[in-house]
Each structure stands twice: as structure tokens, then as C-alpha cells.
Structure 1
Amino acid sequence: MLTGDTRYNRLPARVAVPLFPFPAPGAAFFRWLGAPADAVRAARIRIAGLLGVPADRITLTSSGTAALRLALTALRRHDTDEVILPSFGCPSLVEAVLNARMRPVFADITADFTLDPADVARRIRAATRVILAPHTFGTPCALDALLPLAEAHGIDVLDDAAQSLATAVSGRMLGTHGTAGVLSFGRHKTLFAGGGGALVWNGAPERRPRPQDGPARPGRTIRALARCHLSDLVRALHTDLARHALLAPAPFSDAAEALERHVVEAGPAAAFDGVRAALLLDQLPRLARYRRVQERHLRRYSLALAGQTSIALPPAPVRAGGMAFLPLRCPPGRRHAISAVLAARGVESTWLYYPLHLLRRYRGIDPGAVLPRTESLWTSTLCVPSRGWHGERQIERAAAAVAEAGDST
């Protein structure tokens, strides 16, 4: 069973510093809206250029999860095929494995939240087909250990760069290592483009999957973007207003309950419309600036936490790449009180991931699994706002609230 404080973190009555605010579209977004087909083609070419790969290796998808399912389905050979993945992560990773009719095998993590190569090695067996290696919180996982390990056993590696767009390792961008890579442009990711994702096929061309789904419907994306923007505006007045206006779902009181009941499944693999492409083309040129701004945000948090003993910055590797939000460390059992202080100051926070092997939904997959670092780290992680398009005043407010929370709890 999932143990520890699974209550959702406190919501601010009025949100002054949201975790993932809607980025204001620039002029490029509106220019590309006039040529949606051209925007999709240009987005594919631009992503390929960013990664340094040919454009024909990029397949745009409805989400990162859809891209992952597409890759897994192409790599699957038998009903008994297994996929090793970290237990500390998003449930949609497990659902993609199950949707591809493969069996998840949970592995432990290191202190920087990524797959532990030593534990992966212990879990490899004859049925192992894929190692799924996400770069959690933007931290590059140990590809220098995982790739040779996989090659020695004839196993494919999926380089899940959904949280680490435009981060280079060993002279190559994440997402271009292994047999295939995955990108995501959802609201919880490093770069938000209204949703969508991409599959980067790095393996043999004849094995590359060909999605058969029909065209996307841009009207749905426009409505979703409008709802996101309106929700941000309304939540700044009062959080409950967004729910009453049906702009935001009602929150669960317990995170484990939410994970058990609500699972995100992979949608149509080819559903990437011109609206998403236009927003992506508008946001991609801002990546370098967003990272520079994040570095300033990080320095502000570092100053606020100087001398603190109850709240600390994450290990240095976590801070190396772009972050959707900053995973702070806090004492187990006290983060709910810390999040309450943040909420009182209008600052959103979250403990994003849970030990998936302890959820009822997945417990039967790998019964008896004992993953000590996963079970320890999830209780001491609290994510705070740190996006490249957060304003300086917002991060000043968030950093001051974090310092106050450390002092008062």
C-alpha cells in the first residue's frame, strides 16, 4: 500500500504564482495560424534542426504518451515482452506499456530521481525487450551506463526526453539516444505548446512505426488553450471560481485516490494540428532565453534558502537542464505544512510523483517489489514554480514564501 502523506498539497485561495502558467503567445503564433499545414511541416523541420537529426525521423503525435506507445508497439515482439522503467514517475508511462501489450517491470532510482543502472541490471531477464529511460525533472539519466548494458543484452532503449527538451549529453541532444526518443509539449513540460509530442526514431528505418490515425481537429485545441488561459485569469481572483465555471476539474483530496481512478491513456498518435504547431513555432525560439531566466530563478531560491536546514535545493544534476518546476527537498511528514504556508502566500506547489509499484492499480504487476530510494525520496520532494516565463516578481514571492515555510515549520 502507498504510505506517507498522500493528501494533495494545499491550494491557494488566490493563485499569485501558478506552477505552470500559460505562456503569452507572440506575433509568430498568429502568423502561423494562417497556414496550419505549413505550420505542422515547419514544426517538424524545426524540431529536427534543434535535435540535429533528419526531419524524416520525426513523427508529431497527440502527446508524449502517444509517441511512447507508438514506439513500444513497434518494438514489441511477443506477448511476454517486458519493459523496465522507474517506479518514481508518471502513471502514463505504465499505461503506455500496458497499451502496447507489454509488461512493466519497476526499477529503483538514484538520488537524482533517475533510473539506477545497477538495479536495472538486476532486473534484466530473457523477456526484457525495452529499457524506458525518462529524464525526470530534466535531469539526464545515466545513459553512459544504460546504453552499453542494453547493447550487451540485445535490448532497446527508449530515450524519454519529455522533460528535457534541448538538453545535450555526450554531444547529442536527449531524445536522439537509443532506438527511439520521445518529446512532449504538454503543460507540465519544459516547453508548453498546447499539448502534443513527438517520436524521434533513431533505429533502423525499416522498423520505424507508421501511424494510421486520421487528421487532428484544431477546434479542440483552440478550446483547450482558451480554457487554460481563462482558468489562469480566474484562479488569480479565486481558485474556486475556475472550478465553478467548469474551467478546471475539482481536485481530489487524496493523491493516491486520484491516481487509482484517473489514468491518462495515449490518444491518436498522429493528432498534431496547426494550432499546436503554431504555438510550438512561437515558443521554440524562446528556449535559450527561458533557460537563462531559470538560472536567475534558481539563484533567487538559493539565496532564500541559504542557512535553511528544513528545505534544500535538489542535487546539482537535477539543476543542470531545463526544469518544468524545481524539486525541493524537505523533511518527510512536513511537506504538507510547508505547502500550506506557500498556499497562504498564493504560491502553488505539488509533490508530483508517487511510487507506482505501491498503487493498487499496478501492485499485481510486480508483487513484492522493494524499491528503497523510490519509497524514501517521494516523501521528501516538493515542486515549486520555476518556469522560464515566470516573472521575476513571481519568483521573488515564491522564494520568500519558501524561506518563510522553512522557518515556520
Structure 2
Amino acid sequence: MIHDQAEMSDLWYAPVPRRPVGYLHPSRMTAGRFAATACAAARPGHARTGLAARLREHAGRNRCVLTASGRAALELAVRQTGAAEVVMSTFNCPAVADAVLAAGARPVLVDLDHVEGPAFTSVDLDGRAVVLTNALGLDEWRAHAERIEALGGRVVLDLAQASVALRVLRRFRDAACPIVLSFGEGKQLGGLGGGALLTSAQHTSASLVGAGGLRRGGEMAPLRRAVVERIVAHAPGVVRAAVQRGQSRTPGWSYTKADHLPTEAGQVTQGEPSRWEVASAAALLRTASTVADEAALTHERVRSAAAELTTCQPVAADPDFGPGVELVFRRPGQRFLFARALAERGVPSTWNYYPLHRLAPYGAFAAGSMAGADSLWPRVLTVAKQPQPRLTTQLLVEAMVAADRSVREQEAGRD
């Protein structure tokens, strides 16, 4: 897809710290959790049964189908609804649209506002499924589910970006909708991969997951990576800096998202999760609520402090529904300057959103004007909030205040 020069500059990734103080997706694979994962992997059947039972219990669902990924779980959920068309926000991960397409349904993309959320009711919902993904950490269930159901829509709740804390699942015990979870790398659980569909529908069949049983190929690689990342995060600064330099020289490294925008819809991996993916999810779930509590506390403190910033404002998000604190800048161009100032202090940041209606595989599915998303996407930045050494709330707030001042000074110098 061709972009003009101004838009190309908005596609620059947030600079990474040369000497990281923290990480966007810190590994949770401590020595104790590694041992628990190894023990669970030695009894894969027991780990699978225990993980599914615990998720079912807290979500109030009759069935838990463990899948190769959150994307595969979402495909099953869409198939379960039987809907031919699925409404979803254009502010989304391509994997969500890929799962809808894999289920044989047609995505219907709607606009998004960072205050009001997705414009679900801008289209006809009768007989359609609606996927709630909590974009920008907004609680789409609380804001939209009742109205969607009143208009004849069937809700699918995708919690792939949410904390897999048991208290989060308990919120939806009385909600008669399928719930999709993801245990992939970079998710809030911090697992190695895999996903789950929680449902009470009787016709959901495990055979839909696909044949082949447990996946074996390369299943140890994510575990080794998680262990190494944990060690590096606790290493001296010179080690962290050397690792960062090495990563910037690896194939595929890029400073712009333009190099990574999809040109065709992705495939959905079928089958079941590997024994190591199940084992890590089972082990990490034991402490997920504690980690979520710490992240939520950081979220609220940072959001409170960020209210004093002049170049951006935090989104009024639910702390449990996003992996970071989302900031919205007053105008394009400020995001990159702010991120660069944060990186100079060792603080990581990122931006995840490029509206699906602007991508070649999904542009044909846009429904109406997307003015809100078009205005919003160049102005959103995510700041890490997950518990980790060194990246304290005080350090994070101080870095944000300094970055805010730096942006104002640079803009004043250009005037």
C-alpha cells in the first residue's frame, strides 16, 4: 500500500532504548515458574485437564477448548455463532480479521473513537456476530454489549489483550457469550503460546480444532527465549545494552511499520497447543492475579500523573484490559518525539494500531466513514506497565514528564 511522505513518518516505530531500563513485554519465567512448567509438561494430560477445569470454573462455562492460538480459538467462536458477517472495530490486530475469514464469515469494519469506543451501532447488527476486543483497553462489554444484544447481535468476547487473571474471568460468569483467550508471547499472561475458547454451547466440537494432537515442532524455542529474556532483564546495564545492539542487527529488524504491514490475510494454525504451551499457561496462571494487581496499580498511578501532561492525555481505559497505558497525543508527529525522549531515558514504548481498513487484505470490508480511526492512529502510544525490575512507577512518571517537556521545547524551537 502506498503512503504519502507525511504518513510514512507516522509509520516510524517508537525508538527502542539503547540501554533498556525496562521492557514492553517482560518475561515472567522465573526459576520457580520454570520448574512448575517443567513439572506440568511431564504430565501433559493432567496439566491440560487442570488448566481447562480452572478456566471453566472461574468463567462459569461448561466447556473449554484449548487451541494452538488465540486466533484459532476466535475462529471456533465465530463458527459457533453461525453468523455470515462479523462486526469488529477497524482498530484491531489483523489476526482478528484473519480468524473471521478463516471461519468463512465476512468482516464488517466500523470506526472507533478513543472516548466512545467502536461505532458498533453504526451498522445493522441483527443476525450478525460482534467481536469485542477492548481496543485501547476500553471495556467494550460494559459500554456496548447490552445494546448489541438488544439489536439482535451475538457477542463474542475476545480477551486476548486482557489480563488472564481469574478475577477478570469472573466478571463474565453471567454473560451468555463465548470468551476467547490467548497465552501467546507478548500477552499479559506472558505464556509461550496457545489459546482457549470458553463456551457453554453444546455443539462446540473439539474436532473443529483439527487433527494431529499435541504440536511438537520447535516447542522448546519459546521457553528458551523466555528464560533468556528473564536473565537479561535482571542483568547489568552493559549486558542489556549489548543484547539490544545485537537485536537491532538481526534479519527483519526495522525502524518503520511500513515494512511489516500485511499484504494478504494470514493463516490460522489448527491443532492443539503443545505440552509446553499448556504447561506454561497452567504455571503462570497461578500468579496471574498478583501480577495483574501490580500492573493495575501502576496503571492508575501513571494515568493520574499523566493527567498533567500537555502534549498527550491517557485513555480512560480499564487497567485489566490492556498491556500498557495508552496515551493520545494532540497532533501527529508528537508521538515519535515523545517516544524518542522516553527511549533516551531507557523507557520502552510502542504503538500497535494501524487501522485494518487501510490494509490491502481488509480494506474492502470497511463500513462507512472511518474518520475517527484515521485521525486517531498516528497519535496513540503505549507505555509499559507490567511489573519488572527497575521500571518503577516513579521512574516511568519522571520519564513521561521529561518527554512531555522535551516535545514542547522541540516544537517551540521550530516555531
Which residue of the other structure, out of 38, 45, 59, is the alignment partner of 2:46? Answer: 38
Following the alignment from structure 2 to structure 1, what is the Cα–Cα distance between the partners of residues 378 and 369? 16
Match of 1:223 in 2: 221
Q: Which amino acid aligns with 2:330?
A: P
C-alpha deviation, 1:264, in angstroms: 4.7
| CA contact 1:86–1:109 (8 Å) conserved in 2 | yes
Spell out, residue by residue over 1:170-199, the C-alpha distance to the aligned partner (whole angstroms, 9 max, x if none): x95348734422011123322121111101
| CA contact 2:85–2:105 (8 Å) conserved in 1 | yes
Label 1:295 to 1:70 Cα distance change in 2 as closer, same or farther (>3 A). closer
Match of 2:236 in 1: none
Q: Which amino acid aligns with 1:45?
A: A
Match of 1:18 in 2: 23
Which residue of the other structure, out of 386, 396, 403, is the alignment partner of 2:401? Answer: 403
Following the alignment from structure 1 to structure 2, what is the Cα–Cα distance between the partners of residues 262 and 346? 35
Query: What does 1:347-386 align with in structure 2 at a 5 Å threshold?
Result: 347-366=347-366, 369-386=368-385
Following the alignment from structure 1 to structure 2, what is the Cα–Cα distance between the partners of residues 175 and 353? 30
Label 1:168 to 1:258 Cα distance change in 2 as closer, same or farther (>3 A). same
Match of 1:70 in 2: 76
Match of 1:308 in 2: 309
Following the alignment from structure 2 to structure 1, what is the Cα–Cα distance between the partners of residues 266 and 240? 24
| CA contact 1:325–1:383 (8 Å) conserved in 2 | yes
Q: Given the alignment of the two structures, is residue 53 of structure 1 paired with residue 72 of structure 2, yes or no?
A: no
Cα RMSD, aligned residues only? 2.9
Query: What does 1:284-299 align with in structure 2 at a 5 Å threshold?
Result: 284-299=285-300
Match of 1:330 in 2: 329
Spell out, residue by residue over 1:221-265, the C-alpha distance to the aligned partner (whole angstroms, 9 max, x if none): 211221344356375434231354x5xx52333324412348653
- Which runs of 5 or more residues in structure 2 are unaligned? 233-238, 408-415
Following the alignment from structure 1 to structure 2, what is the Cα–Cα distance between the partners of residues 87 and 235? 36
| CA contact 2:114–2:136 (8 Å) conserved in 1 | no
Following the alignment from structure 1 to structure 2, what is the Cα–Cα distance between the partners of residues 398 and 356? 31
Match of 2:175 in 1: 177
| CA contact 1:6–1:255 (8 Å) conserved in 2 | yes
- Runs of 4+ more than 6 Å apart: none
- Secondary structure of 2:179's counterpart equals strand
Q: Given the alignment of the two structures, is residue 163 of structure 1 paired with residue 164 of structure 2, yes or no?
A: no
Label 1:380 to 1:199 Cα distance change in 2 as closer, same or farther (>3 A). same
Query: What does 1:229-244 align with in structure 2 at a 5 Å threshold?
Result: 229-230=227-228, 233=232, 236-242=241-247, 244=249
Match of 2:279 in 1: 278
- Which runs of 5 or more residues in structure 1 are unaligned? none
C-alpha deviation, 1:392, in angstroms: 5.5
C-alpha deviation, 1:167, in angstroms: 7.4
Q: Given the alignment of the two structures, is residue 254 of structure 1 paired with residue 256 of structure 2, yes or no?
A: yes
| CA contact 1:304–1:400 (8 Å) conserved in 2 | no
Following the alignment from structure 2 to structure 1, what is the Cα–Cα distance between the partners of residues 174 and 71? 17
Following the alignment from structure 1 to structure 2, what is the Cα–Cα distance between the partners of residues 83 and 177? 19
TM-score, normalised to structure 1, is 0.84
Label 1:364 to 1:293 Cα distance change in 2 as closer, same or farther (>3 A). same
Q: Which amino acid aligns with 1:402?
A: M
Label 1:240 to 1:228 Cα distance change in 2 as closer, same or farther (>3 A). farther
Following the alignment from structure 2 to structure 1, what is the Cα–Cα distance between the partners of residues 173 and 341? 38
| CA contact 1:74–1:209 (8 Å) conserved in 2 | no
Percent of aligned positions with the same letter in both sequences?
26
Match of 1:134 in 2: 133
| CA contact 2:92–2:355 (8 Å) conserved in 1 | yes
Label 1:129 to 1:174 Cα distance change in 2 as closer, same or farther (>3 A). same
Deviates most, 90-99 or 171-180: 171-180
C-alpha deviation, 1:356, in angstroms: 1.1
Following the alignment from structure 1 to structure 2, what is the Cα–Cα distance between the partners of residues 252 and 354? 16
Label 1:300 to 1:168 Cα distance change in 2 as closer, same or farther (>3 A). closer
Following the alignment from structure 2 to structure 1, what is the Cα–Cα distance between the partners of residues 297 and 319? 13
Q: How many equivalent pairs are there? A: 389
Query: What does 1:78-89 align with in structure 2 at a 5 Å threshold?
Result: 81-89=84-92
Q: Given the alignment of the two structures, is residue 149 of structure 1 paired with residue 148 of structure 2, yes or no?
A: yes
Which residue of the other structure, out of 240, 243, 265, is the alignment partner of 2:267? Answer: 265
| CA contact 2:69–2:182 (8 Å) conserved in 1 | yes
Q: Which amino acid aligns with 1:314?
A: V
C-alpha deviation, 1:340, in angstroms: 0.8
Spell out, residue by residue over 1:354-373, the C-alpha distance to the aligned partner (whole angstroms, 9 max, x if none): 11112233223337x31222
| CA contact 1:335–1:380 (8 Å) conserved in 2 | yes
